[in-house]
A = this chain, B = another copy of it.
Amino acid sequence: MKASQLGRGAEFDLIRELLREEPDVLPEGVVLGPGDDAAVVAGGSIVLSCDLSVEGVHFRREWMSVEEIGYRAVAGAVSDLAAMAARPVGILVSLALPAAEAATLVPCLRSGIAEACRLVDAAVLGGDLSRSPGGVLIDVTAVGEATTPVLRSGARPGDVLWVTGYLGGSGAAVRAWEAGEEPAAGARRAFVRPVPRTGEARWLAERVTLHALIDLSDGLAGDAAHLAAASGVQIVLEGAAVPVHRAATPELALRGGEDYELCFAAPAGAVDPLREEFVARFGVPLTPVGRVREGKASLLLASADGEDAALSSGGFDHFEEGEHEA
């Protein structure tokens, strides 16, 4: 848990550098390149994203079972499809495993991978497998289909910002483990069994014009900042409105990361009539947490005296030295 500048962690700088050579003109059929939650190809219908899970960086084996490691790797990747309101089609899974353990790890990983796939109606489309000189590494490419993918970049002044679920549970689990404690059951579950909100995102997108959508992987403060930056708007969060997981603190709800809930901007008044049906259908709260206004792209925290304060994003930086900082 480290505070850092808005989107300025070493991870982001490196990715930007890596991706900077993108051609001005995208190849035939490519509608959206890197920069959003997923790329869009096939003239706009196929959505693709990849997500890497590395032992000692994203998880530790003392924290969770091998099944849970497999489940979580897939759920995290598929969450990027939810972030585009795409229907999951399938995944490709690359595994690097310590040679001596491969035979025992594969059946357990497979079981967790299959569980996550069943949950979202995705198929295992392919994969690769290698010996790992280090620990366990799983890279999942999620493939989805969307008639109209929802990007990060469409939030408009006057929109309301919403989130699904309760935030900070996953971060609370990591904080407990790092303090040598056993996390509360709900917090542990939030970390090891995140539910990708693909069904929720599609249900909403079919009923409301979602202007911008992202999934919460870096923490609400980080991801709302991404949304503000991509849309070129100011977002003002109402700190008191943020739905805090019962095992978490308000700070963890803002900065804990890896909640894999949805965060979206929609026209004022558009979502309220659906709220009751959404909660009844999905058993997940739907909460307005802020508003979008004109101004230099930034994220602010609302203050009672009207002097809204700038909020640093405090995302997860995989290149910070030392232990897991989610």
A residues apposed to B, CB below 8 Å: 10-11, 14-15, 17-23, 26-30, 33-34, 38-39, 41-42, 45-46, 48-52, 54-58, 89-90, 92-96, 99, 102-103, 106-107, 109-110, 113-114, 121-135, 137, 139, 141, 143, 145, 318-319, 321
Add 15 more A-B contacts to A27-B121, A102-B319, A132-B137 (CB < 8 A): A10-B102, A14-B102, A17-B107, A18-B113, A18-B127, A22-B124, A39-B125, A41-B125, A50-B127, A50-B141, A54-B131, A54-B132, A57-B130, A94-B139, A133-B134
Evaluate contact between A106 and B54: CB separation under 8 angstroms: no
What CA separation (Å) do A128 and B103 show in the bound complex? 27
Residues in B with CB closer than 8 Å to A128 are 50-52, 139
Please give, as numbers and ranges, the residues of chain B lying within 8 Å of A17 by CB-CB distance.
106-107, 110
A interface majority secondary structure? mixed
Assembly CA distance A33 to B137 (angstroms) = 23
Chain B minimum-CB-distance residue to A25? B123
Q: Say yes or no: A124 contacts B14, CB within 8 Å.
A: no
Q: Which residues of B contact A95 (CB under 8 A)?
A: 18, 52
A131 and B319: CB pair below 8 A?
yes
Q: With both chains docked as a complex, state the minimum distance between the C-beta of A114 and any C-beta of chain B, in angstroms.
A: 5
Q: How far, in angstroms, from A96 to B132 measured CA to CA in the complex?
A: 12
Cβ contact of A19, chosen from B57, B121, B127, B141, cutoff 8 A: B127
A49: B residues at CB distance < 8 A = 92, 126
List the B residue with the shortest CB-CB distance to A13. Answer: B103
Q: Which residue in B18, B26, B134 is a CB contact (below 8 Å) of A106?
A: B18
Q: Are B48 and A92 in contact (CB under 8 A)?
A: yes
